[in-house]
Amino acid sequence: MDRTITAALAVIIVAVVAILILNPASAGTGTVQKTPGAGIPSLQQPGSAGSAQAGNAGGSGSQSAAGTGTTRTFTLGVAGNQYTPAEIRVKQGTTVRIEGDPATLTGCMSTVNIDGYGISKHITAGDNVITFTADTAGTFPIHCNMGMGNGRLIVEDSSGTVPVPSQTPAVAKGSGGCGCSG
């Protein structure tokens, strides 16, 4: 009888984890575009955010089409259970373009969340770009839906400093026990 209960619990746990990982409600379509001054990003269709650029840990830069600021491009992947690069640093007002590597962003790590910007994007081979304007200075956690990844977006203000928040929001940190290996 104990084996039957254990097997049933295992099936339930696997089903719940599968639902969390594969939940279509967390999967976006198009490119996430944060509208300046708005708390929730809107969605833009693929291809409307400009041409793709190869990124690196430091990010590449170019002048935006509107000429109002700089666009920095980063390639986001996973090594172990950590997002790489672990830190994305930009100046306030920069357009950030994150190109997710679908080959390494698998399992729960394929949903990238950026706290403070209202961004949650499910990365797939055909839909792997997150674009937004870093209009709020500070340090913002980057994590999967299970709280893993432990990356961060650092946005410097116009003087080059990063404001220290008066209260840091709590983010659930996973222990890596979801079974995903990045």
**Is a pLDDT exceeding 80 seen at residue 32?**
no
- In which domain, by residue range, is 150 found? 27-156
In a domain, 11, yes or no: no
In a domain, 2, yes or no: no
Predicted pLDDT of residue 8 = 64
In a domain, 77, yes or no: yes
As a whole number, the mean pLDDT across the chain is: 72
Predicted pLDDT of residue 113 = 97
In a domain, 130, yes or no: yes
**Structural domain count of the chain:** 1
In a domain, 136, yes or no: yes
Predicted pLDDT of residue 111 = 97
Distances (CA, A) of 9 to 5, 17, 19, 23, 100: 6, 12, 15, 21, 34
In a domain, 70, yes or no: yes
Whole-model pTM above 0.75?
Answer: no
**Is a pLDDT exceeding 80 seen at residue 28?**
no
3-state class percentages of the chain: helix first, strand second, coil last, to nearest 5: 15, 35, 50
**Is a pLDDT exceeding 80 seen at residue 34?**
no
Predicted pLDDT of residue 137 = 95
**Is a pLDDT exceeding 70 seen at residue 22?**
no
CATH number for 130: 2.60.40.420
In a domain, 80, yes or no: yes
In a domain, 68, yes or no: yes
C-alpha to C-alpha distance for 162 and 153, rounded to whole angstroms = 11
Cα 178 from chain centre: 18
Within 8 A by CB and 6+ apart from 158, the residues are 91, 92, 93
pLDDT in tens, 89-135: 999 999 999 999 999 999 999 999 999 999 999 999 999 999 999 99
C-alpha to C-alpha distance for 136 and 65, rounded to whole angstroms = 21
* 34 touches 117 (CB < 8 A): yes
State the sign of the Cα–Cα–Cα–Cα dihedral 82, 84, 89, 95: negative
